[in-house]
Structure 1
Amino acid sequence: MMEQPNGSWQDPRRDGWQPPQYEYVPRPAPKRGRAPLIITLLCLALAAVVLVSAAAVLLWQGKDPFRIGEQAPAGAGEDAPAFELQELPEDMDDGLPTTQIAQQVGPSVVCINVYMPQSLSVAAYGSGVILNEEGFIVTNAHVVEDSSDLSVILNDGREFSARIIGQDTQSDLAVIKIEAEDLVPATFGNSDTLQVGERTVVIGNAAGRLAGTVTQGIVSGLNRQVPIQMSDGSVITMNLIQTDAAINPGNSGGAVVNRYGQVIGISSAKLSGSDYEGLCFAIPISDAQPVVQNLIAYGYVKDRMTLGVTVIALSSVTGPERGLPAHGLYIAEVLPESDLVNHDVTAGDVILKADGRELTATADLQEILKEKKSGDTIDLQIYKHSNGKTVAITANLLESTP
């Protein structure tokens, strides 16, 4: 998933209305001369965009949607260091002033320089948050994707070469590592305790050249189901924190902090469009923690299961118009290795229920699969497009591996 914005400046006025787009915060490329401010610095597309509409959402893309490339996992082993989520302080009802939060968390947020193959110049930038003194840093998968080399610049100006430990597209999380001393790990809080209206502070490498930028806002919404289009054309639905604290290109992978100075989110996406302001999104740290630990230990997310299909969510409009049910997940593609092949399930069929739960969105299937482990099966109710009949099957699941 490549992002090659030119980092220049342009008149923000646009002709006509454009539909809103949920997009990853891009990695701005280095500044090249003088040009006006580009509104695309506020449009967070990496290579493709997602139009927010009633259109169906693709998920479970072929070739294992939860894999990155073909490289061997670089995990550090099962005993790899983790990070803990701290409870809320009992004696700080009003929290810390923003100035103190900036001073406390700023040294834990780093700038990431991204290099592309056969290039000696910095191709793009991002942000990251120091997890522990061992040098593990969490960032976005879309920041480091397709990079050949990375470097990390600390708050104190020191720069170190970094290597990728693991990356995961579904969660848009990655872990990189540097060899450095005197690191300042962030303090992480439980994002499950967040409430709408709470104060938030965002810290990151805004615009790729404004390191340590601090913005402030509130929690605007929780558990937002946000569809994001990937570079391979698939679309994943992410469960995100919404905030109106400004998140800009270069903030990707940076810290979203609560009023106690605890990192409770990782900056990831924004709703862009000429008529939209302050609709920014972050990965909840409580959701990120198990993913990050898996990336550190194995280089990938272990025991994540998939059906091996590409599906499209139907609606009361899109289904009946095509002679299909008014709900369910239309199967656009079945991988050869999927067990559905053994049950004569083909493209054009519709998954109506999974484990007894009616499916109305791709996120419904995603939530069920999250609970599955290696060796588990899933009970499906399938509408057959060939004869209009509904059949019940029990299918084996595929384990996503690097």
Structure 2
Amino acid sequence: MEEKYSRPQCCALPGGPAGREGIMDQRQYPQYPQQPGGPCPPYVQQPGMEYPPYPPYGGQGSAAPPYGGSVYGQGGGPVPPRAPQYVYQTPGGKPPRRRRNRAPLVAVLLCLGLAATVFLAGEAFDALRSGGAARRRPTPGEVPSFTIEDLPEDADGGLSTVEIAKTVGPSVVCINVYEPGSISIAGSGSGIILNEDGFIVTNAHVVEGSSAVTVLLDDGRELDAWIVGSDTRTDLAVVKITADGLVPASFGDSDILQVGERAVAIGNAAGQLSGTVTQGIISGLNREISMQAGNSVVTMNLIQTSAAINPGNSGGALVNRFGQVIGINSAKLNSSTFEGIGFAIPSADAQPVVEDLIAYGYVKDRVALGVMVIALSPVTGPANDLPSQGLYISSVEDYSDLNNHDITVGDVILTADGVTLETTSDLLDVLETHKPGETVRLEIQKRGSGNVVTVDAVLAESRSN
């Protein structure tokens, strides 16, 4: 049913003509001359309001001009005098509160809020940079062992890829790094849990130059970490977290690998796809790959695999068919030109480096000659009035014993312990046979005169990464 509503009529005024009662009988209006056709007062009386703001002549519902002429302001009629201004007052006679301009106050509050946000973000970053893991370095006797296990006797043909993923997956983590002065993630990589103490192995280039590191576990927990040690020469680093319920990986012997074996790579592909599993084979062993390590170029013997290793997989696990980690993946060493060619650092080579990084923060007993060298060739040497082979000395460190033998920039090292030097790796191989404090015999050609001198240089200990 449609309901119809009618406009209520005004009540009769006290002392005025009779009207319809019972609708607005509690409202009082001041009496004023009623014009023919004029409306009832459309307001409720308020103290201090003497006259009703009824519509002016000519408005809708208003009375006609009393003189019978045209409406004020129309058709040449006279213009009405300016209507009085009525000011509403609250009961009690107080004027209404003036509405203040709150824009300055809002601006101040916004500035304070922004300052607080920046302060809290800085505090959060300082806490992140300091790391939540305990920073006490273990003593040599407390260093957790990096155990390489034998092949299982009852494994038969090994595990399926699904079983490998379930077994090793919880041991592979995502590593996020932050640059100085930033709270945004600057890069991501992967890592492998070494033991329940929270030590994690990864690549040196993953954490290089970072001011803060966090670790995202397979179960979704994200924890602060600190860098225990890093070695650019082997592209290995160790970080540490403090957490319960960690699942350490099982490491196998990379020295017994055979070309053609099945291999599975697990890591944080593309820095976003954690737990990515790819499969391939062992494509080659002892591949000599050169890479930039600080200011020098080093050659490493690596495992070649066809399992896909993408950016973000660096530091992840290369696993054999028995679920044992036999290599630490390194996307830095992968080919950008060809697909299906990836490289990993053998577990047997990583073991002593990782143990030293945990115990000392650097690789102990690694010697340093204290020079930067550039390998010469039959093309670059003669073109610069230098030998066609040898290592050109481009700088000499202050601690180098060569300073005591008048060896300077521009001289060329020809041999070390009787070994002819053609590459920087040749010199490194000789130095690795010595310990700090021992001497190495060098044959050096002086620039200018071309004279060859023999020098017995005392080797220092290298504590750089």
Same-fold status (TM-score > 0.5): yes
SS of the counterpart of 1:221?
A: strand
Distance of 1:367 and 1:233 partners within structure 2 = 18
181-190 vs 345-354, greater mean Cα deviation: 345-354
What is the number of residues matched between the two proteins? Answer: 328
What pairs with 1:1-400 in structure 2 (closer than 5 Å)? 75-78=137-140, 79-92=142-155, 94-230=157-293, 233-268=295-330, 269-273=332-336, 275-400=337-462
For the 8 Å contact 1:313–1:361, the answer to whether it is kept is yes
CA distance in 2, matches of 1:226, 1:241: 10
Checking the alignment, whether the CA contact within 8 Å between 2:291 and 2:333 is kept in structure 1 is no
Is the 1:74–1:164 Cα contact (8 Å) retained in structure 2? no
Distance 2:321 2:389 in 1: 42
Distance in structure 2 (CA, Å) of the matches to 1:383 and 1:199: 50
Percent identical residues: 62
Give 2:237's aligned amino acid. Answer: A
What is the aligned partner in structure 1 of residue 92 from structure 2?
none
Output the CA distance in 2 between the equivalents of 1:361 and 1:222.
21
TM-superposed CA distance for 1:173, in Å, is 1.0
Find the residue that maps to 1:372 and give its secondary structure: coil
Give the conservation status (yes or no) of the 8 Å contact 2:318–2:329. yes
Question: Which amino acid counterpart does residue 148 of structure 2 have in structure 1?
Answer: L
More displaced stretch, 82-91 vs 259-268: 82-91
| Contact 1:74–1:299 (Cα < 8 Å) also in 2 | no
Q: Is the 8 A contact 2:289 2:333 kept in 1?
A: no
Return 347-356 or 250-259, whichever deviates more.
Answer: 347-356
* Per-residue deviation, residues 301-321 of structure 1 (Å, max 9, x unmatched): 111111111111222333233
TM-score (norm 2): 0.67
Query: CA 1:95–1:317 in 2, change beyond 3 Å: closer, same or farther?
Result: farther
Greater Cα radius of gyration, structure 1 or 2: 2
Output the amino acid matched with 1:301. V
CA distance in 2, matches of 1:93, 1:317: 55
1:94/1:320 CA distance change after superposition, 3 Å = farther
CA spacing shift, 1:338–1:100, aligned 2, 3 Å: same
Give a deviation string over 1:5-38, Cα, whole Å, max 9, x none. Answer: xxxxxxxxxxxxxxxxxxxxxxxxxxxxxxxxxx
Once the two structures are TM-superposed, the CA of residue 140 in structure 1 deviates from its matched residue by 1.0
How far does residue 137 in structure 1 lie from its aligned partner after superposition?
0.4
Output the amino acid matched with 1:220.
Answer: S
Structure 2 residues not aligned, in runs of 5+: 1-134
Task: Name the SS for the 2:185 alignment partner.
Answer: coil
1 or 2, which has the higher strand percentage? 1
CA drift at 1:122: 2.1
Mapped contact 1:75–1:166 kept (Cα < 8 A): no
Render the CA deviation track for 1:252-305: whole Å, top value 9, x for unaligned. 1111111221111111134444x4222221111111111110111111111111
| Bigger shift: residues 183-192 or 367-376 | 367-376
Q: TM-score, normalised by structure 1?
A: 0.77
1:91 is displaced (CA, Å) by 4.1
- Provide the C-alpha distance between the structure 1 equivalents of 2:153 and 2:430, rounded to a whole number of angstroms: 36
Aligned in 2, Cα 1:220/1:315: closer, same or farther, shift over 3 Å?
farther
Distance 1:220 1:320 in 2: 39
**Offset at residue 113 of structure 1 (A):** 1.5
User: More displaced, 155-164 or 313-322?
Assistant: 313-322
Q: Alpha carbon RMSD of aligned pairs, Å? A: 1.8
> Any conservation in 1 of the 2:309–2:334 contact (CA below 8 Å)?
no
Give the distance between the partners of 1:359 and 1:75, measured in 2 at CA: 39
SS across alignment from 2:413: strand
Offset at residue 233 of structure 1 (A): 4.5
Aligned residues of 1:75 and 1:295 also touching (Cα < 8 A): no
SS at structure 1 position matched to 2:206: helix
AA aligned opposite 2:409: A
Q: For 1:394, what is the secondary structure of its paired residue? A: strand
Unpaired stretches in structure 1, ≥5 consecutive residues: 1-72
How far the C-alpha of 1:218 sits from its partner, in A, is: 1.7
Q: CA deviation at 1:356?
A: 1.6
**Whose RCO is larger (CA < 8 A, sep 6+)?**
1
SS of the residue aligned with 2:182? coil
Normalized per residue, the structure richer in helix is 2
The offset of 1:385, in angstroms, is 2.4
